[in-house]
């Protein structure tokens, strides 16, 4: 044990640093004291508050709480394994290509991983209680995530209750519910959640589609699956909700309906649950400048019928989504099933330039991560840009999640069938607005580099 501890590379780095300072003095004892300096209260708790507690606290989704030392200590070894392998926190993006700044980045930096590994290797000491940061305040189970920001939701649309048997095949429940709106309203944020904590166990994902009469929107749609105002929001394990940017919103019309698509699976206990959609309106009279639309972008040529995954192979499919108007691409959220391995989104510009926006190289079916671009990097793209979605499926035995590599797999709802699309929000704007957005961004970038000059 002690040997492996001395050989772990953060220790070698520690030694190297000390050697640099002290010449060639015998360093092993000092190296150990470097490790002992990493403590839970001083170094680990601040990281866990920021990157783990959202899920690892009482009443939230993860199996154990990591809020204090007593709760965390028994998990030290498994924490080291999970963070060193980048399995936790769930963030499956290739960090070597594409955009790397996100509004919701919950991944650990290399430094943070090193600190956690060194702490565990040093015997996971608690440290001085005085160093412990103040506890975080988290919303209670019954309140909505965005309540603190906007007050209680202005509208809640609930799906009819569904009773899932203890043992049954997966169910796709698609009720249609009136919103009851009598006037048009812009929307600034939405959240979906199961109605009860038990519901979380059976609800794999829930989609809420906005249905309203609006022929002129077909202008931006490119696919029969994607006509109309599109999806409102998609909820899946690990997701909190969506807030539109200050100058943009989604538009709901009077007489609109929510079409639910809820995927339930049996967990050995009969559970009755429904899904709730919470909608937050901006103050009346406020008109955002731009309209945001959530698109389903296929990673398959010719739509879902073109998905064809032979047994014992890794297959690649591609789909193209033309931007019929200029716009800002807000996020990337790949959707595949058990054989999904990787997905990328590239922009092919009218100039011929190709830009890699994002590549998820370690897709995990259990985690529908939504990668939301930070304001200053969300791609601003001209009319005529093609978004290319490329999807890789691993239908070999090398894929641990593959239920049967000898099966030929096609498109379908069941988890043993496949899908290959991305959910992408686009904020549409005029060509002039695009120009001025690009100019503004360039100006603030220059300002920033000016400030950084000594």
Does position 138 interact with ligand HEC (CB under 6 A)? The reply is: no
Cα distance between residue 204 and residue 146, in whole Å: 22
Binding mask 361-400 for ligand HEC (x = CB under 6 A): -----x----------------------------------
Among 106, 198, 200, 441, binds ligand HEC (CB under 6 A): 106
Asked if 125 contacts 36 with a C-beta cutoff of 8 angstroms, the reply is yes
Choose between 57 and 341: whose C-beta lies nearer to ligand HEC: 57
Does position 54 interact with ligand HEC (CB under 6 A)? The reply is: yes
Asked if 406 contacts 339 with a C-beta cutoff of 8 angstroms, the reply is no
Binding segment for ligand HEC (CB under 6 A), chosen from 85-93, 172-180, 193-201, 426-434, is: 85-93
- SS3 at position 382: coil
The token pair that represents 123 in the structure block: 């015997």
Binding segment for ligand HEC (CB under 6 A), chosen from 24-32, 81-89, 174-182, 373-381, is: 81-89
Query: Minimum CB separation from ligand HEC for residue 153, in Å?
Result: 22
Q: How many residues bind ligand HEC (CB under 6 A)?
A: 21
Query: Minimum CB separation from ligand HEC for residue 310, in Å?
Result: 29
Does position 90 interact with ligand HEC (CB under 6 A)? The reply is: yes
Choose between 48 and 69: whose C-beta lies nearer to ligand HEC: 48
273 beta partners:
162
**Continuous segment of H or E residues that includes residue 106:** none
Does position 337 interact with ligand HEC (CB under 6 A)? The reply is: no
Q: String of b and e for 29-53 (b: at least 16 CB within 10 Å)?
A: eebbebbeebbbbbbbbebbbebbb
Beta strands of 128-202 (E only): which ranges?
Answer: 155-158, 162-164, 171-173, 176-178, 185-187, 189-194
Asked if 268 contacts 168 with a C-beta cutoff of 8 angstroms, the reply is no
Among 79, 207, 357, 372, binds ligand HEC (CB under 6 A): 79
Choose between 82 and 221: whose C-beta lies nearer to ligand HEC: 82
Place of tokens 């989504």: 321
Q: How many CB atoms lie within 10 A of CB 79?
A: 24
Q: How many CB atoms lie within 10 A of CB 294?
A: 24
Q: How many CB atoms lie within 10 A of CB 253?
A: 16
CA 247 to chain centre: 22
Binding mask 11-50 for ligand HEC (x = CB under 6 A): -------------------------------------x--
Among 62, 76, 348, 386, binds ligand HEC (CB under 6 A): 62
Does position 203 interact with ligand HEC (CB under 6 A)? The reply is: no
The token pair that represents 180 in the structure block: 């009851």
Place of tokens 């099933």: 337
Does position 189 interact with ligand HEC (CB under 6 A)? The reply is: no
Does position 236 interact with ligand HEC (CB under 6 A)? The reply is: no
Closest CA to 279 of 156, 381, 385, 422: 156
Among 14, 39, 56, 294, binds ligand HEC (CB under 6 A): 56
208 beta partners:
233, 260
Asked if 416 contacts 337 with a C-beta cutoff of 8 angstroms, the reply is yes
Choose between 141 and 254: whose C-beta lies nearer to ligand HEC: 141
DSSP state of 411: B
Choose between 73 and 325: whose C-beta lies nearer to ligand HEC: 73
Does position 283 interact with ligand HEC (CB under 6 A)? The reply is: no
Choose between 109 and 397: whose C-beta lies nearer to ligand HEC: 109
Angle in degrees, CA 225, 259, 358, rounded to 5 = 50
Binding segment for ligand HEC (CB under 6 A), chosen from 83-91, 254-262, 380-388, 389-397, is: 83-91
Among 27, 55, 278, 309, binds ligand HEC (CB under 6 A): 55
Does position 82 interact with ligand HEC (CB under 6 A)? The reply is: yes
Query: Minimum CB separation from ligand HEC for residue 107, in Å?
Result: 9
Cα distance between residue 131 and residue 116, in whole Å: 17
Among 12, 61, 443, 448, binds ligand HEC (CB under 6 A): 61
Does position 51 interact with ligand HEC (CB under 6 A)? The reply is: yes
- 3-state SS of 207-228 is EEEEECCCHHHHHCCCCHHHCC
Does position 89 interact with ligand HEC (CB under 6 A)? The reply is: yes
Among 83, 251, 307, 347, binds ligand HEC (CB under 6 A): 83
Helix 110-121 × helix 76-84 angle, to 10°:
150
What residues line the site for ligand HEC (CB under 6 A)? 48, 51-52, 54-56, 61-63, 75, 78-79, 82-83, 88-90, 106, 108, 238, 366
């Amino acid at each position: 044990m002690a040997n492996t501890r001395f050989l772990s590379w953060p220790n070698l780095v520690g030694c190297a640093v000390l050697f640099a300072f002290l010449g060639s003095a015998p360093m092993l004892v000092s190296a150990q004291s470097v490790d002992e300096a990493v403590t839970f209260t001083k170094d680990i708790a601040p990281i866990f508050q920021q990157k783990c507690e959202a899920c690892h606290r009482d009443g939230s989704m993860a199996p154990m709480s990591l809020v204090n030392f007593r709760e965390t200590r028994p998990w030290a070894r498994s924490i080291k394994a999970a963070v060193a392998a980048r399995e936790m926190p769930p963030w499956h993006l290739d960090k070597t290509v594409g955009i790397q700044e996100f509004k919701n980045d919950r991944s650990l930096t290399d430094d943070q991983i090193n600190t956690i590994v060194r702490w565990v290797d040093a015997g996971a000491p608690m440290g001085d209680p005085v160093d412990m940061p103040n506890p975080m305040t988290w919303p209670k189970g019954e309140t909505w995530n965005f309540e603190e920001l906007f007050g209680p939701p202005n509208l809640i649309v609930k799906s009819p209750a569904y009773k899932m048997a203890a043992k049954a095949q997966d169910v796709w429940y698609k009720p249609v519910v009136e919103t009851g709106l009598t006037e048009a309203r812009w929307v600034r944020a939405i959240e979906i959640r199961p109605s009860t904590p038990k519901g979380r166990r059976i609800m794999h994902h829930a989609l809420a589609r906005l249905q309203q009469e609006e022929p002129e929107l077909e202008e931006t749609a490119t696919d029969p699956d994607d006509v109309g105002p599109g999806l409102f929001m998609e909820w899946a394990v690990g997701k909190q909700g969506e807030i539109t940017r200050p100058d943009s919103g989604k538009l709901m019309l009077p007489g609109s309906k929510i079409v639910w698509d809820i995927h339930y699976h049996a967990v050995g206990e009969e559970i009755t649950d429904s899904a709730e959609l919470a909608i937050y309106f901006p103050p009346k009279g406020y008109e955002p400048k731009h309209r945001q639309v959530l698109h389903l972008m296929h990673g398959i040529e010719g739509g879902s019928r073109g998905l064809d995954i032979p047994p014992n192979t890794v297959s690649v499919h591609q789909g193209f989504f033309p931007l019929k108007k200029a716009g800002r691409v807000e996020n990337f959220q790949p959707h595949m099933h058990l054989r999904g391995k990787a997905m990328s989104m590239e922009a092919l510009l009218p100039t011929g330039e190709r830009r890699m926006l994002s590549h998820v190289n370690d897709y995990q079916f259990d985690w529908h991560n939504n990668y939301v671009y930070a304001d200053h990097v969300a791609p601003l793209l001209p009319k005529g840009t093609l978004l290319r979605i490329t999807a890789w499926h691993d239908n070999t035995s090398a894929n641990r999640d593959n239920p049967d590599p000898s099966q030929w797999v096609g498109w379908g709802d069941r988890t043993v069938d496949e899908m290959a699309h991305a959910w992408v929000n686009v904020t549409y704007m005029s060509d002039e607005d695009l120009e001025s957005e690009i100019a503004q961004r360039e100006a603030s970038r220059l300002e920033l580099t000016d400030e950084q000059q000594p």
